[in-house]
Structure 1
């Protein structure tokens, strides 16, 4: 299983076809990347993969990292097996029957043969006059389809216009929107979101730079903390990422490669018991999409390993938030601990990971501080402000 997983991972990274198909290959690659990204050795192996997927030494590092992950996390092995055992359905292949040489097969029992067109029981002579008639009929049909589509759009638009039920509104586009209607600046307008935007137009992040501003910078970190040398990073999801595979339900975190994913890694220094903090931020185009991703991330965290337990933050942050803790022992005999949270603020979802590599219990206090700071900074950005909230008590 290790060799198969690594081979598929390298195939996806290099853009080659995988043995299990595109969908299953991308799902497996996303699962392996998510799990390897929680350890220093796994991140190093993934960095090598990004640099040169064909390097044999990278393959060996990935195999070792996957073996360690399987040994430390039996549930990861079960999820990996489930993905490998569930390849996508093979698309139906259509072939041209050899009995129709010099013909074009249109469908079952239908052919074009020299000067005749056969459509089941109907035969049409393929002459110049018939061809002209068919072209004229096709042009008329096209015009009717265009007119019908235009009429349907007009009817749908008029039915949805304010105060209109099939009648043209006649509203001047320069007229001010009435209080309570979309476009009104009245903060108490019905249908408005918590940020003052009407339903269907919740504030969104405008790009990578604005997303990076939300991630805590040096000015907002406690004394002694520093950013990792390669932080922050921004990339598009390389594959479909789904939370809750083990539970049978599919909640999408990344539906496609267009989804932006920004991350930052922090080194907190010797003043605290934990050794590393990772923060991931995913901006979406709507609240519904972000809500589904929140559930997916929450389920992904809950399925991290057999020792995962639900945990309580100091309070609810943002629109919704949740946390888990996990403890596991690697082959060196040292018990590791992690505290994980996920928080949604409007159209943005963030995940926080506090890692204890040298033993010790998960620190829920600092997990709450970090989650609170991410919720506050996200809200500031969505409100059009420069994020200034700091991390700490």
Structure 2
């Protein structure tokens, strides 16, 4: 596969992962390609600028074109990168539903194939054929909603232990647990609002949590917002919209913080009407989106370390809540 084709397909996967459409390419391959492209482009100034454009507007032809051009340079200079991308992009399409993996499923007039299982379309097998088709549709539908895991341990039902998924939907009570408290803030910070949570206003909506803190010594404020959505794809779309909104301000500049969660962006923007510069960190962890507004940072040359510390702590708390669960309301 030529460098131009590799870069074009890789950037297509990158934007699909960002919009939650990675199942079109296979979840495993899509995530691997997206991570590989982000890691490589994030190592150069041109690559970081291209990622900024893709994160701000992944549907923009010019943004994708610039990302492809930057990636072509990296592919031309690194045969190993070319090999890894070729391997992932040549992988057969795979869909994941819970703990079940369906690969190469297909239906035809004579047979139906569900992974390794093939049923001939003969009169005696027509009922199993129909049942297999129904099963295929049911499993694919479950895959769109995160799948179903059935875990047993021994013969006693009490031995069965639920396994929490990092992509599951959080309840409103769990969403509140993800919001940083004043005790989790560095010394000197005081609460000015919250923490609090608002339930989703409609079915299929996202719960939202918020807390605001201020440091009297520096007059810096930190505003934390968490959106807990039903599915990762919805959270990913919300993440991209938040990033796009921040790029609507003037003098928006990317902040080189380490990547966190499934998707992350850090940036500053200047608000001319207030003559202030705000730092932002936006992170998606599974079905949860975290947003930190930190500022003003005009006279704070060391703000990046504090932004990273607060973001990393909040993301870690979200991951713990996703992993452990809570028996709260929905």
TM-score by structure 1 length?
0.40
Decide which structure has the larger Cα Rg and report it. Answer: 1
Instruction: Answer 1 or 2: higher relative contact order, Cα 8 Å, separation at least 6.
Output: 2
> Which protein is richer in helix relative to its size?
2
TM-score by structure 2 length?
0.48
